[in-house]
């Protein structure tokens, strides 16, 4: 089975409502969609959002597929995908997001050809469902509280509070209100997206000692390992990496600096399923926690890929925060949705989702 063509499709999808993270306001998503077609009528799809925080452009990812990936992979046996992916990493001509979308599309195609799930290509599933983290982040606290109450009534029991964009006292009050209103059975964590200083992070956690936060994600800017280590030493709430890690070397450096108790793995950010699995295995070896997520905002294709990875990781302590639920439109026939607060790993062949080509054509940005 040979790859006959590979196509890069720029996608833009509307968000249900604006999301503020780390001081930046998001009103729509952008992602790279990759389609791999093979000569036996098999095709696979992959997705990755550009790293907007670092100024990465969607148009750049599209050009990389056309100019660097296509000449390397077209006409090659799909069975040789590991060799082709290795060549892309060695050539250093592509973003990790581009390689991630290509790897996911190749894995989807190969698994479909064999009639198995993508998870089966990476060791087989250890779990079939995870709790869904629901993001709470709105300009007004009243809207945040109302959103959390609606989602809790729908079965969600794990909430991620987006902090760092409003005054610290408002972030503290939100966590206190939610704990009071929703009860002790609900789990709360928070994500500052690197917007705080060490003093702000310590103050936030100290004031919430009785709230019982599961963890605080990326309180300080990426790279501030010494400050993060000093802060971690003074609090009992675990700290997690997100923006501060894009692979195993970053995780290892933070662990050696005593600056983190865990990491949030995003398959598209880490460069694909293989490198995401490597990162999870390293966390397991180091004895630190793991959570899964997708960038704001990939469709159910990205969610499916993250769930397939989550199924095979040695451990997933902080469950999964997909972004596809925050979209008003999707790219698959049956969007992935939680059931009583839990997301189930798709069981169909490949990624387990079926592409809605009409939606792809509707939301592609190059026509």
Same domain, yes or no: 163 and 246: yes
Tokens of 154: 């729908």
Same domain, yes or no: 219 and 300: yes
Residue for token digits 């001509």? 93
**pLDDT tens digits for 146-196?**
999 999 999 999 999 999 999 999 999 999 999 999 999 999 999 999 999
Same domain, yes or no: 166 and 185: yes
Question: Is a pLDDT exceeding 60 seen at residue 22?
Answer: no
pLDDT of residue 55: 85
Question: Does residue 351 belong to any structural domain of this protein?
Answer: no
Confidence of residue 344 (pLDDT cuts 50, 70, 90): very high
What distance in Å separates the CA atoms of residue 107 and residue 266, rounded to the nearest whole number? 17
Same domain, yes or no: 53 and 193: no
**pLDDT tens digits for 26-40?**
778 899 999 999 998
Q: What contacts 170, CB < 8 A, 6 or more positions away?
A: 141
In 3D, which of 117, 93, 122, 98 has the Cα closest to residue 47? 98
Structural domains counted in the chain = 2
Task: Give the percent of the chain with pLDDT over 90.
Answer: 91
What distance in Å separates the CA atoms of residue 26 and residue 14, rounded to the nearest whole number? 10
**pLDDT tens digits for 218-246?**
999 999 999 999 989 989 999 999 999 99
Question: Is a pLDDT exceeding 70 seen at residue 21?
Answer: no
Same domain, yes or no: 114 and 211: no
pLDDT of residue 286: 98
CA angle 19, 20, 22 (to 5 degrees): 140
DSSP state of 55: T
Give me the mean pLDDT over the 334-340 stretch: 96
pLDDT of residue 112: 98
Confidence of residue 257 (pLDDT cuts 50, 70, 90): very high
pLDDT of residue 28: 82
**pLDDT tens digits for 54-72?**
789 999 999 999 999 999 9
What distance in Å separates the CA atoms of residue 145 and residue 243, rounded to the nearest whole number? 26
pLDDT of residue 66: 97
Same domain, yes or no: 210 and 73: no
pLDDT of residue 85: 97
Question: Does residue 38 belong to any structural domain of this protein?
Answer: yes
What distance in Å separates the CA atoms of residue 200 and residue 234, rounded to the nearest whole number? 13
Domain boundaries, position 33? 3-120+356-363
pLDDT of residue 17: 80
What distance in Å separates the CA atoms of residue 342 and residue 250, rounded to the nearest whole number? 30
**Average pLDDT score, the chain:** 95
Question: Does residue 349 belong to any structural domain of this protein?
Answer: no
Same domain, yes or no: 10 and 55: yes
Question: Does residue 350 belong to any structural domain of this protein?
Answer: no
Q: What is the CATH number of the domain that holds 49?
A: 3.30.390.10
Same domain, yes or no: 189 and 160: yes
Question: Is a pLDDT exceeding 70 seen at residue 23?
Answer: no
Residues in the chain: 367
Same domain, yes or no: 206 and 93: no
Kindly list the strands in the beta sheet with 24-38, ordered across the sheet, starting from the edge strand earlier in the chain: 3-21, 24-38, 43-48
Q: DSSP of 248-312, one letter per residue?
A: HHHHHHHHHTT--SEEEE-HHHHTSHHHHHHHHHHHHHHT-EEEEE--TT--HHHHHHHHHHHHH
Residue for token digits 């925050």? 326
Same domain, yes or no: 114 and 160: no
Q: How far apart, in Å, are the Cα atoms of 319 and each of 116, 128, 205, 309, 335? A: 24, 12, 21, 12, 19
pLDDT of residue 9: 98
Same domain, yes or no: 186 and 111: no
Q: What is the CATH number of the domain that holds 164?
A: 3.20.20.120
Same domain, yes or no: 110 and 171: no
Give me the mean pLDDT over the 82-102 stretch: 96
Residue for token digits 């000449």? 71
Give me the mean pLDDT over the 268-288 stretch: 97
């Amino acid at each position: 089975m040979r790859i006959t063509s590979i196509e890069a499709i720029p996608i833009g999808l509307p968000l249900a409502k604006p999301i503020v993270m780390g001081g930046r306001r998001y009103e729509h998503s952008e992602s790279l969609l990759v389609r791999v077609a093979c000569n036996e009528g098999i095709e696979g799809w992959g997705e990755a959002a550009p790293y907007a925080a670092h100024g990465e452009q969607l148009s750049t990812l599209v050009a990389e597929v056309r100019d660097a990936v296509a000449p390397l992979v077209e006409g090659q046996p799909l069975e040789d995908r590991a060799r082709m992916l290795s060549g892309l990493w060695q050539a250093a001509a592509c973003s990790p997001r581009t390689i991630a979308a290509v790897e996911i599309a190749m894995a989807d195609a190969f698994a479909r050809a064999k009639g198995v799930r993508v998870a089966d290509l990476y060791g087989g599933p250890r779990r079939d469902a995870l709790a869904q983290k629901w993001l709470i982040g709105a300009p007004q606290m009243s809207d945040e509280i109302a959103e959390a109450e609606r989602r809790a009534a729908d079965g969600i029991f794990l909430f991620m509070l987006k902090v760092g964009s409003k005054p610290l006292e408002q972030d503290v009050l939100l966590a206190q209100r939610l704990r009071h209103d929703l009860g002790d059975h609900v789990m709360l964590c928070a994500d500052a997206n690197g917007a705080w200083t060490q003093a702000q992070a310590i103050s936030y956690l100290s004031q919430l000692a009785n709230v019982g936060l599961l963890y605080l994600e990326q309180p300080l800017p990426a790279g501030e390992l010494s400050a993060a280590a000093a802060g971690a030493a003074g609090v009992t709430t675990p700290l997690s990496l997100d923006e501060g890690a894009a692979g195993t070397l970053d995780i290892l450096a933070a662990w050696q600096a005593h600056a983190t108790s865990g990491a949030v793995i995003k398959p598209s950010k880490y460069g694909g399923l293989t490198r995401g699995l490597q990162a999870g295995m390293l966390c397991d070896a180091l004895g630190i926690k793991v959570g899964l997520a997708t960038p704001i905002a990939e469709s159910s294709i990205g969610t499916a890929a993250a769930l397939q990875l989550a199924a095979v990781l040695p451990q997933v302590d902080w469950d999964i925060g997909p972004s596809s639920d925050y979209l008003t439109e999707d790219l698959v026939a049956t969007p992935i949705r939680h059931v009583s607060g839990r997301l189930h790993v798709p069981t169909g062949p490949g990624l387990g989702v079926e592409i809605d080509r009409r939606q792809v054509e509707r939301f592609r940005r190059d026509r």
